[in-house]
């Protein structure tokens, strides 16, 4: 196991202060003082929603980071607006033709399946940091299942979905975390969508009894109800809570890894399905007045709930951590919506992606008040630079130099780029039916539909 470092025998997690001997070769160049970085991904966060809320004082934690750091619009890819594609570009620093995650789902041998970590053709930040002798903790990030071997821990995107079907079985925990034994100690943190707390949801909006029943609805066979924004809200809220609570827990019971990555998804789920109540003027045709009155704050309140989690997680981090808040894309009106107050079958479908995401950076590496033109391909090179580590030869983006304090770059001068390689990954095989249920979940939240041949 570790030559030096902290070994948590109960979890089998090794968070090395220097290189872990069994986590791949680490360059001696990279061993030494290593500034810590945390990335909090917020799916679909846009300054179009954030800026009015900052003015109203409703996002105090994001405001504090911007106050002591920097902000920029993060331009996303022209090749796709699908979250798996974009988040993989953020983590790898390359476009989809090179990283290979080209959509939500694919058809292999006539069978539809969700893109998995085994479909990614290039190393990601967690591989790079591991290879350079650093430690990583990743929670809930897109397309990380089955978990790769890293120096630290990796809780895959399947973890918050383990209870999103009613057939949760022990053998479905296969590949859900690295180390494999970790899932047992955090399983209680994966929230059951059917056990959702109405009081918590009603911080965002008020829901009639019929709407609440619809939100809780399941098909007669126990399957998810497809294509309803109320149902998507349930899954989005419980998944975000699951990932955030798990991140909080892991920061409590283990040392902070050199690179922490976590993922908050609620603003995307509600943006897709409640935009008509948030911005009724953007819709062609009238939006029911009672929906505007009861649901007009669902989108803004999803940001305030997310801001609360940002505050809690940042408070747990070493004050010397450089923090990046990033989104994969923004959100705008589709100009239409589905459903009606007396027909709740297909509420939503009123928000769609834009190519304007966000980047907020703060911490010892960052020059306060700096500005920069940023693309999501620039995130990975910038993160490694903020950790004082060498960039990867694969990067298509650039280091966002204007964000950095001059004295930080003097202490951590740029290093020559390195070759990187993929880590060992678990087998793709799953017990019969599990992948189908994950596809069903993606349909329920509106990310894919049956008309697609390869998802999207």
Positions that interact with Zn ion (CB under 5 A): 268
- Per-position b or e across 168-200, b if 16+ CB within 10 A of its CB: beeebbbbbbbbeebbebbbebbbebeebeeee
- Minimum distance, C-beta of residue 159 to Zn ion, in the bound complex (Å): 20
Return the number of the residue (356 or 415) whose C-beta is nearest Zn ion.
356
- Minimum distance, C-beta of residue 37 to Zn ion, in the bound complex (Å): 25
- Minimum distance, C-beta of residue 44 to Zn ion, in the bound complex (Å): 5
Return the number of the residue (150 or 298) whose C-beta is nearest Zn ion.
298
Return the number of the residue (73 or 151) whose C-beta is nearest Zn ion.
73
Q: Which of 255, 242, 256, 45 is nearest to 157 (CA)?
A: 242
Kindly give, in sequence order, each residue whose CB lies less than 8 Å from that of residue 158, ignoring residues fewer than 6 positions away. Answer: 145, 175, 176, 438
Question: On the CB side of 119, how many CA atoms lie within 13 Å of its CA?
Answer: 23
Q: Which residue is nearest to Zn ion (CB)?
A: 268
352 backbone φψ class: left, alpha, beta (φ>0; ψ -120 to 50): beta
d(CA 446, CA 322): 34
- Minimum distance, C-beta of residue 269 to Zn ion, in the bound complex (Å): 8
Return the number of the residue (328 or 440) whose C-beta is nearest Zn ion.
328
- Minimum distance, C-beta of residue 57 to Zn ion, in the bound complex (Å): 27
- Please check whether residue 257 is in contact with residue 194, taking contact to mean a CB–CB distance below 8 angstroms: no
Return the number of the residue (118 or 332) whose C-beta is nearest Zn ion.
332
- Minimum distance, C-beta of residue 171 to Zn ion, in the bound complex (Å): 31
Return the number of the residue (266 or 287) whose C-beta is nearest Zn ion.
266
- Please check whether residue 138 is in contact with residue 130, taking contact to mean a CB–CB distance below 8 angstroms: no
CA separation (Å) from 137 to 74, 81, 163, 256, 412?
Answer: 24, 26, 22, 8, 23
């Amino acid at each position: 196991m570790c030559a030096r470092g902290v070994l948590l025998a109960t979890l089998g997690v090794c968070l090395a202060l220097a290189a872990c001997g069994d986590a791949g070769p680490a360059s001696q160049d990279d061993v030494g003082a290593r500034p810590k970085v945390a990335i909090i991904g917020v799916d679909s966060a846009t300054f179009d929603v954030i800026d009015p809320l900052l003015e109203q004082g409703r996002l105090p934690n994001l405001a504090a980071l911007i106050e002591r750091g920097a902000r920029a619009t993060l331009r996303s890819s022209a090749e796709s607006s699908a979250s798996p594609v974009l988040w993989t570009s953020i983590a790898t620093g390359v476009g989809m033709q090179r990283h290979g995650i080209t959509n939500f789902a694919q058809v292999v041998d006539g069978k539809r399946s969700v893109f998995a970590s085994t479909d990614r053709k290039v190393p990601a930040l967690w591989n790079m940091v591991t290879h350079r002798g650093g430690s990583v903790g990743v929670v809930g990030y897109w397309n990380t299942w089955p978990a790769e071997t890293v120096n630290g821990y990796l809780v895959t995107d399947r973890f918050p979905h383990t209870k999103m079907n009613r057939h949760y079985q022990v053998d479905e925990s296969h590949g859900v975390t690295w180390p494999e034994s970790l899932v047992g100690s955090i399983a209680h943190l994966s929230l059951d969508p059917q056990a959702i707390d109405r009081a918590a949801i009603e911080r965002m909006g008020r829901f009639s009894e019929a709407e609440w029943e619809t939100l809780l609805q399941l098909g007669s066979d126990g399957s998810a109800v497809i294509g309803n924004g109320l149902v998507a809200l349930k899954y989005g809220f419980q998944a975000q809570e699951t990932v955030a609570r798990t991140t909080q827990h892991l920061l409590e019971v283990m040392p902070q890894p050199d690179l922490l990555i976590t993922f908050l998804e609620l603003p995307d789920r509600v943006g897709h399905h409640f935009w008509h109540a948030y911005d009724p003027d953007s819709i062609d045709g009238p939006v029911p007045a009672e929906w505007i009155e009861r649901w007009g704050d669902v989108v803004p309140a999803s940001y305030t709930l997310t801001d609360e989690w940002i505050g809690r997680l940042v408070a747990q981090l070493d004050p010397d951590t450089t923090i990046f808040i990033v989104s994969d894309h923004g959100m705008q009106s589709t100009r239409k919506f589905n459903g009606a107050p007396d027909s709740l079958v297909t509420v939503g479908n009123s928000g769609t992606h834009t190519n304007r995401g966000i980047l907020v950076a703060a911490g010892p590496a960052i020059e306060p008040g700096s500005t920069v033109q940023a693309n999501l391909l620039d995130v990975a090179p910038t993160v490694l630079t903020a950790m004082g580590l060498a960039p990867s030869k694969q990067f298509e983006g650039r280091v966002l130099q204007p964000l950095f304090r001059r004295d930080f770059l003097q202490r951590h001068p740029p290093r020559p780029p390195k070759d990187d390689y993929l880590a060992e990954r678990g087998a793709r095989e799953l017990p019969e039916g599990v992948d189908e249920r994950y596809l069903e979940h993606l349909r329920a939240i509106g990310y894919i539909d049956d008309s697609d041949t390869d998802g999207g």
